[in-house]
Amino acid sequence: MTQKTRTAIVTGGLSGMGLAIARRLEADGIDVTVGARRGGEPETARAILDAAGVKARSAALDVRSSESVERFVADVVARRGGVDILVNAAGVYVEAPVEGHPDAAWDDQIDTNLSGTFRMIRAVMPHMTGAGWGRIVNLASVAAHQGMANNAAYCASKAGLLGLGRCVSLEGAAHGVTCVSISPTWVETEMLKSFIDADIASSGRSREAVRADYAASNPQNQLVQPEEVAELAAFLVSDAARALTMADYQVNAGSLW
């Protein structure tokens, strides 16, 4: 009997690690639906996916909204009959010191990075437990383990994912559902490239010099690539990863940040 094609949802799948993971899962024959705020702009989303060689469907998804999450998941289930894999890669990052920290910056990072992940898991869990198989991967960060000045909201949101994942893994264990997280250090994504651009603008230094500073933050002296994170994610959602749950895997190149 031919095994049915697995169905995956990747949030934040129009950029960075989410896009790399969507591409990698497709290479394994998995049917992927990408959710992102820009997913509601079909031409823009299709252009991004095509440029990356990704055939995945895309749709509007705002993980800050329970209504948006439930509608998105319901559409995938209606088309595919269920959801086997969920990769939560949607996230935002804003720096601010604790003193004078704007409520809006705190609320958006907690709501997107942590509560948004919770909403997605809550929506897919009944389909996974009912089917007796499921894989959930949350994109955390080394910030889940280490503090950094001016990053209270981001660190708190990512640390929260570890606690959430432990609870989900326990509730899913008897039903064949695993939940793990991946915690990368600096990854050469669009977000990091925007930081490099800002450093160039403020310092007048060359792109090569600024990029080298980020690379030197780890002893391997190389920036982690989105594709490296995607390779790990692909294994963690496979049948071979059945016993891997309630764990966090750091892709840190030997660096705490």
Q: Active site includes 214?
A: no
- Tell me, what's the pLDDT at 55? 95
38: domain CATH number is 3.40.50.720
- Tell me, what's the pLDDT at 256? 77
Identify the active-site residue in 93, 154, 214, 249: 154
Do 49 and 24 share a structural domain? Answer: yes
- Residue 199 forms part of a structural domain: yes
- Tell me, what's the pLDDT at 255? 84
Do 75 and 136 share a structural domain? Answer: yes
Residues 6+ apart with CB under 8 A from 243: none
Binned at pLDDT 50, 70 and 90, residue 3 comes out as low
Q: What is the pTM of this model?
A: 0.95
- Tell me, what's the pLDDT at 2? 45
Q: What are the pLDDT digits (tens) for 93-117? A: 999 999 999 999 999 999 999 999 9
Q: What are the pLDDT digits (tens) for 245-255? A: 999 999 999 98
- Residue 257 forms part of a structural domain: no
Do 60 and 16 share a structural domain? Answer: yes
Do 76 and 153 share a structural domain? Answer: yes
Do 200 and 118 share a structural domain? Answer: no
- Tell me, what's the pLDDT at 193? 87
Q: What are the pLDDT digits (tens) for 181-233? A: 999 999 999 888 898 999 999 999 999 999 999 999 899 999 999 999 999 99
Q: What are the pLDDT digits (tens) for 131-147? A: 999 999 999 999 999 99
Domain that holds residue 26: 7-185+226-250
Do 48 and 138 share a structural domain? Answer: yes
Do 151 and 192 share a structural domain? Answer: no
- Residue 255 forms part of a structural domain: no
Mean pLDDT of the chain: 95
What percent of the chain is modeled with pLDDT above 70?
99
Do 105 and 12 share a structural domain? Answer: yes
Q: Domain tally for the chain?
A: 2
Do 119 and 214 share a structural domain? Answer: no
b/e string for 174-206 if b means 16 or more Cβ within 10 A? Answer: eeebbbbbbbbbbbbbebbeeebeebeeeeeee
Q: How far apart are CA 229 and CA 147, in angstroms?
A: 22
Concatenated DSSP letters of 26-94: HHTT-EEEEEEGGGGSHHHHHHHHHHTT---EEEE--TT-HHHHHHHHHHHHHHHSS--EEEE------
The answer on pLDDT for 1 being more than 70 is no
**Inter-CA distances, 140 with 3, 47, 131, 159, 256, Å:** 31, 27, 26, 8, 13
